[in-house]
Amino acid sequence: MLGELLKPEIQEMIRAGNLKALHQVLVEWEPPEIASLIEDLPSKDDVVILRLLPHDLATTTFEYLSPDKQQELIEALIQQKDYLADLLNALSPDDRTALLEELPGHLSQRLLNMLSTEEREVALRLLGYPEDSVGRLMTTDYVAVHPGWTVQQALDHIRRVGNDKETLNVIYVVDDKRHLVDDLRIRSLLLADPAATLADLMDERFISLRARDDQETAIQVFRDYDRVALPVTDTAGILLGIVTIDDVMDVAEEEATEDIQKIGGVEALDDPYIDTPLFTLVQKRAKWLVVLFLGEMFYTTAMGHFEDEIARAVVLTLFIPLIISSGGNSGSQAATLIIRALSIGEITLRDWWRVMRREVFSGLALGAILGLIGILRVVVGEAVFATYGPHWLPLAMVVGISLMGVVICGTLAGSMLPFIMKRLGADPATSSAPFVATLADVTGLVIYFTAAALLLSGTLL
């Protein structure tokens, strides 16, 4: 973006005290561009830029900044109480909620005290909704109209109050008790006869969210109905606020990132990768690595029981990695597919039986393919290099059967664990690929040595 490219020139202008020219440059930029510039600037310079901006532009730009930068700026501005109070009172309620929930408690308390009585009441109400609920994404800056108004009255009303509203793309019809009775896209007003009443345009069909709904529900509804804003009501149907698509898109992206990180066996990061402090990064990764490591230790112990067999037939060890990794890989694949399908609502809990049948078949097919290649490997190895001695045929059978077994087990474990997690109320993504892989490892080993004990006793063993 522009900001990154011009950063040296901008810093040069700050050094030279050339603030008037800088002001002229910046008012031509889009808020996201100024935000990306501020993001990259060292402290002090960032405050200079923010304070140079006209009030409205400063507010919008501030809303585009990362939580870390917002906190930094607020700490730098804490003594300039009037400026900060103006800024805070002008922020959209939804962006302000996001800010207040990120800040340390003593700081958000101070900021709350800077708000006007009215804005403070809104802020406290929004903060009262559970984390990750629709209420936390909500803004109270919407346009409400009444069914008895004419289209012209509604348009006049919009002209009067619209300036501070988050969106004018949809307006909301409420009755005298603020019950939501319809939502009207601005297009229906623009296309209607100005003398018509709103009641003529209404179909009284609307989709609304509940303030305590999970944010994932909101993503789903926005996607299903292709809306740019949705109303939020309480259980009695009273209109509380609206949620706009830009906030929902951000949440959808974060959710996908969390899923991906969990599938990859990392505890979900709160910040972007590059902004996460190294210590946190190591901590979030170490947690799962250690859990998986301890899991593998059981495996080492299990293997200890087969030490005699291994000593008698070292050739068996050569196939261990092939077998356990096949179980792990097929398990990861299944887990990944199912976690994602659950997370975007393609399948739900009640589909478990349908998925199970598909996965039994997939497991059989994949197991047969890998089993055959494994057998081929032993046969060719013996034919060309005479590697495996006189008992190559039973060895080939053991390898083939074990591969088949481990792939089926891995596939089933990988596909069913996410359902079990979800049923237990946990996040399906917790049954991450490495977790399934470790589970498959242990199973694979047991299958392999059991098959070996059965088929090779009297020959190799």
Which C-beta is closer to a copy of itself: that of 13 or that of 407? Answer: 407
CB of 299 to a copy of itself, least distance (A): 5
Rounded CA separation 163/24 (Å): 24
174 binds a copy of itself (CB under 8 A): no
Residues 338-397 binding a copy of itself (CB under 8 A) are 338-341, 344, 346-347, 351, 354-355, 358, 361-362, 365-366, 369-370, 373-374, 377, 387
Which C-beta is closer to a copy of itself: that of 24 or that of 300? Answer: 300
Residue 69: name the closest of 49, 86, 53, 89 by CA.
49
Rounded CA separation 91/86 (Å): 9
Among 59, 92, 326, 402, binds a copy of itself (CB under 8 A): 326
Stretch that binds a copy of itself, among 76-84, 98-106, 275-283, 451-459 (CB under 8 A): 275-283
**What x/- string results for residues 103 through 142 when contact with a copy of itself is judged by CB under 8 A?**
----------------------------------------
Rounded CA separation 38/11 (Å): 11
Among 241, 400, 428, 434, binds a copy of itself (CB under 8 A): 434
Rounded CA separation 346/19 (Å): 54
405 binds a copy of itself (CB under 8 A): no
337 binds a copy of itself (CB under 8 A): yes
186 binds a copy of itself (CB under 8 A): yes
Rounded CA separation 185/174 (Å): 14
Among 124, 207, 386, 453, binds a copy of itself (CB under 8 A): 207
CB of 10 to a copy of itself, least distance (A): 18
Maximal C-alpha separation, the chain: 97
6 binds a copy of itself (CB under 8 A): no
CB of 41 to a copy of itself, least distance (A): 18
Rounded CA separation 396/378 (Å): 6
Rounded CA separation 147/161 (Å): 18
Residues 278-297 binding a copy of itself (CB under 8 A) are 278, 281-282, 285-286, 288-290, 292-294, 296-297
Among 81, 159, 212, 423, binds a copy of itself (CB under 8 A): 159
263 binds a copy of itself (CB under 8 A): yes
Rounded CA separation 445/439 (Å): 10
Report CA dihedral (291, 294, 295, 297) to the nearest 10 degrees.
160
Position 423, amino acid: R
Q: How many CB atoms lie within 10 A of CB 440?
A: 28
Going by DSSP bridges, is the β-strand pair 180-185/170-174 parallel, antiparallel, or unpaired?
antiparallel
CB of 163 to a copy of itself, least distance (A): 6
Q: Which two tokens stand for residue 150?
A: 């004419």
Yes or no: say if 418 and 335 are a contact pair by the CB < 8 Å rule: yes
Among 437, 447, 451, 460, binds a copy of itself (CB under 8 A): 437
Residue 317: name the closest of 399, 410, 434 by CA.
399
Among 140, 332, 402, 431, binds a copy of itself (CB under 8 A): 332
Residues 220-259 binding a copy of itself (CB under 8 A) are 222-226, 228, 245-246, 249-250, 252-253, 256-257, 259
Rounded CA separation 57/32 (Å): 10
CB of 114 to a copy of itself, least distance (A): 26
198 binds a copy of itself (CB under 8 A): no
Residues 34-45: b if buried by 16+ CB within 10 A, e if exposed: bbbbbbbbeeeb
Which C-beta is closer to a copy of itself: that of 47 or that of 356? Answer: 356
Question: How many chain residues are in contact with a copy of itself, going by CB under 8 A?
Answer: 113
Among 44, 300, 353, 458, binds a copy of itself (CB under 8 A): 300
Please report, in angstroms and rounded to a whole number, the separation of the first and last CA atoms in the chain: 67
Residue 285: name the closest of 439, 421, 432, 441 by CA.
432
